[in-house]
Amino acid sequence: MDLFQVLLNINDFQDNETIYVVEPWTLESETKVLKEPDIGLIQIESNHLIFEYFLEVSIVKEIWKNLEHRNLCMHDQCQNIIEYAIHDA
């Protein structure tokens, strides 16, 4: 699944799950959504790919709420979430 699909379908995921994405982070990047173990994970390896911590699902849902009032297309809203993960998380 790519990051764009995950972000568009964020409400299908549980708040206690975490998003991991292969760098560089783009809307087309391979993505996994997993329940983060208690020890926390910065990265996971799967099928010879390294998935880096991106954001918790609950944080993405909160960002969506904050973007609702802006007149942005879905693509731009998703791009804003990537920018948040890179610069503010």
> Is the confidence at residue 89, as pLDDT, over 80?
no
Q: The whole model's pTM is what?
A: 0.91
Cα separation, 58 vs 10, whole angstroms: 9
Q: What is the pLDDT of residues 4-62, one digit of tens each?
A: 999 999 999 999 999 999 999 999 999 999 997 777 778 899 999 999 999 999 999 99
d(CA 57, CA 63): 10
Q: Where are the domains of the chain?
A: 3-87
Please write the tens of the pLDDT for every residue from 67-84.
888 888 999 999 999 999
